[in-house]
Structures are given as C-alpha cells and as structure tokens.
Amino acid sequence: MVKETEYYDVLGLSPTATDAEIKKAYYVKARQVHPDKNPNDPLAAQNFQIVGEAYQVLSDPSQRQSYDAHGKSGISTEAIIDPAAIFAMLFGSELFEKYIGQLAMASMASLDIFTGEDFDAKKLQEKMRIVQKEREEKLAGILKDQLNLYVQGHKEEFIHNAEAEVSRLSSAGNISVFFIFQSSNYFKFPRLLY
C-alpha cells in the first residue's frame, strides 16, 4: 500500500507501474507539457518541473520505495536534478543544438525570469517570442551554410559531409533514432538515414 499517489497521478500511472512504463509515461507526458510545445502557457515550465520531479523519484528504486512508504516527506529533494537536464539527457543532446537550437526551457533559465516577485507572463511570452525568432534566424543561417556545398555543385563533398554528420549524431543514443523517426514522419519519406 502506498501512502501517496501524486507522482503516479502526474505521470498517469498506477503504483504497480514497471520501470519501462514509468520511462515511457515520462517521455509522453514531458513532451506534452514541455515549454517548447506550450509557448503561450506561463505555467508550462512549472508543469514540466513537476513531471520531471515525479520521474526522478519514481525511476530511482530507493527514492520510489521511500515515496511509496512515506509520501513526499520521505524523499530527498536534494537529489532532484533540473528537469530540463534530465529531459536533455534522456531525449536531447547538445550534438543536435546547431539543428534545433536551445530548448525553450534552457532559454528561459538563461533569462532569469524566475528571480524576483514581479513575474509577468506577458513579458515572458514577449521575451520568449524574441528568443525564438533569433533562434530560428540563427538555425536558418547554419542550414544555409551547410547546404552551400550542394548549391555550388559539390554534390559528392556534400554527401560525404552529410554522412559524417549522421555518423556523429548517431552517437547521441536514443535521441538520434527519435530525430530520424520524427523527420521521416514529418517529411513523409522513407527512412533514408539508417
């Protein structure tokens, strides 16, 4: 019998969930509430943090056992890592930053928006809109530079560089497969990269 079910409820799980079910539920829920997916929701960062905290407690066998027995009062919050870092470790990688930019969560952290009591959701949205526009312009420039070899007629060199980049990015683990799947699905073409 568990004392509290809040963390299970956050992830949409029962207390009998397996480790695999916890990880899958975290992946689905974190993507749903991630600030990048909810740019107009001023509570997106907070919701993302709650999901991350629930995952960290339930995915650690000793923390989970303590939580099940004593509820939140039985867990150590000192061991809780920044949810954006956990998400990036599991599903993102700095290797991809030049293609996708910095996640909104990291961008928000760099703006120091949560320091002070005069939090203004409209100002946050405006700052994030500006950061997103700058991110898109920077990424467009990087992609333009990478395509330049092909445009100038150096097709073989372009292909060689692209294959080397695919090899480098595939070292990122699960996230590389995720990006390949997502891009294949988005562009509606067969999986060409693996």
pLDDT tens for each residue of 90-106: 555 566 677 776 655 55
Most confident of 12-21, 40-49, 111-120, 160-169: 12-21
The pLDDT value recorded for residue 46 is 85
* Cα distance between residue 64 and residue 143, in whole Å: 44
Q: What is the pTM of this model?
A: 0.48
Residue by residue, DSSP assigns 62-124 as HHHHHHHHHGGGGS-GGGPPPHHHHHHHHH--GGGHHHH-S-HHHHHHHTTTTSSS---HHHH
The better pLDDT of the pair 58, 193 is held by 58
Given 3.40.50.800, 1.10.287.110, 1.10.510.10, 3.30.1180.20, which CATH number is that of 6-93+106-120? 1.10.287.110
Mean pLDDT across 27-32: 84
Average pLDDT, the chain: 76
Mean pLDDT across 16-26: 90
How far apart, in Å, are the Cα atoms of 100 and each of 70, 88, 94? 41, 12, 10
* Cα distance between residue 111 and residue 131, in whole Å: 10
pLDDT digits (tens, 9 = 90+) for 32-49: 888 777 878 888 888 888
The pLDDT value recorded for residue 108 is 55
**Are the CB atoms for 7 and 67 separated by under 8 Å?**
yes
Q: Using 50, 70 and 90 to split pLDDT, how confident is the model at 14?
A: very high
Per DSSP, the three-state class of 128 is: helix
Q: Residue 91: what residue type? A: F
* Cα distance between residue 130 and residue 103, in whole Å: 14
The pLDDT value recorded for residue 184 is 53
Place of tokens 């943090």: 49
Residue 180 has pLDDT above 70, yes or no: no
**Are the CB atoms for 44 and 34 separated by under 8 Å?**
yes
Q: In residues, how long is the chain?
A: 194
Pick left, alpha or beta for residue 188 (phi over 0 → left; psi -120 to 50 → alpha; otherwise beta): left
The pLDDT value recorded for residue 152 is 94
Q: Which two tokens stand for residue 60?
A: 């650690």
Backbone φ and ψ of 41, nearest 5°? -105, 110
**Are the CB atoms for 170 and 176 separated by under 8 Å?**
yes
pLDDT digits (tens, 9 = 90+) for 38-87: 878 888 888 888 898 899 899 989 899 999 999 988 887 665 655 555 55
Q: CB-hemisphere CA count at 13 Å for 46?
A: 6
Question: Among residues of the chain, what percentage have pLDDT more than 70?
Answer: 65
**Are the CB atoms for 191 and 184 separated by under 8 Å?**
yes
Q: Residue 116: what residue type? A: G
Mean pLDDT across 139-146: 89
The pLDDT value recorded for residue 186 is 47
The better pLDDT of the pair 127, 160 is held by 160
